[in-house]
Amino acid sequence: MYLCDLHIHTNYCDGADTPEEIVLEAIQKGMSRIGFSAHSYTYFDESYCIKKDKIQAYKDEISQLKEKYNDKIEILCGIEQDFYSNERADGYDYVIGSVHYLKTGDKFIPIDLSADCLTNAVRKYYNGDFYKIAEDYFSTVAKIKNAQIIGHFDLITKFNEGFCLFDESDERYVNAYKNALDMLLKQDVIFEINTGAISRGFKNEPYPSRVILDYIRKNGGKTILSSDCHKKEALMINFDKYQSWVF
């Protein structure tokens, strides 16, 4: 079984457990490598991210845990860097590049907060056109730079199970994600197969969709499994089911 997980959140941001509690759980599960990926600080929304004055403490604690458990497990210190974060992303072992917001004027619209929030934003800022917000989303994802891993590439589908909001086979949607993939694949990034929305009850399969994964595969892309873990019990969740998807 795949025994590595690099998308893990702790109580430094919106996770439930301390880093050491996560490490102990990982050791108990026989994992070979874990990576912490706190949400980068976003000045316009502090509700979920690491606080600015805690960034160094986060780095220091992960460094201490690396030393303390170096004979049991490999520990990496990463960051999930939101596209609109102003914080520097250097000094980490790796960076997950993600888009959690879209910017309209001076407003930052969270796209994964709730179905109601997303639907209201589409009505207010996109004239009710879900394909327009999808185009905006993917054009933003395409601009991610200096990340080794692309986080939940099609996060815009979080509340679209069963195509309840829009048709993911629509030409406008397909062209939007293909244009983004064509840009990102030039950077030799890794796309995560993210099982987090399954464990939280929003989706029945991981991000990205199988159709998108087929496009990534055909164009020479690479993938890695990640749990987007927010509590220790979710480490490697559903990895046994989806490890055959990794390429």
Whether 105 shows a pLDDT value over 80: the answer reads yes
Q: Return the pLDDT at 165.
A: 97
Mean pLDDT of 3-13: 97
Q: Model's pTM, two decimal places? A: 0.96
What span, in angstroms and rounded, lies between the C-alpha atoms of 51 and 123?
32
Q: Return the pLDDT at 64.
A: 98
Whether 22 shows a pLDDT value over 90: the answer reads yes
pLDDT tens track for 184-211: 999 989 999 999 999 899 999 999 999 9
Domain of residue 211, residue span: 4-245
What pLDDT band is residue 117 in, cutting at 50, 70 and 90?
A: very high
Mean pLDDT of 16-23: 98
pLDDT tens track for 40-74: 999 999 999 999 999 999 999 999 999 999 999 99
Q: Return the pLDDT at 167.
A: 98
Tell me the two tokens of residue 210.
């199988």
3-state secondary structure labels for all residues of the chain: CCCEEEEECCCCCCCCCCHHHHHHHHHHCCCCEEEEEEECCCCCCCCCCCCHHHHHHHHHHHHHHHHHCCCCCEEEEEEEEECCCCCCCCCCCEEEEECCEEEECCEEEECCCCHHHHHHHHHHHCCCCHHHHHHHHHHHHCCCCCCCEECCCCHHHCCCHHHCCCCCCCHHHHHHHHHHHHHHHHHCCEEEEECHHHHCCCCCCCECCHHHHHHHHHCCCEEEEECCECCHHHCCCCHHHHHHHCC
The domain that holds 208 is classified in CATH as 3.20.20.140
Share of the chain above pLDDT 70, in %: 100
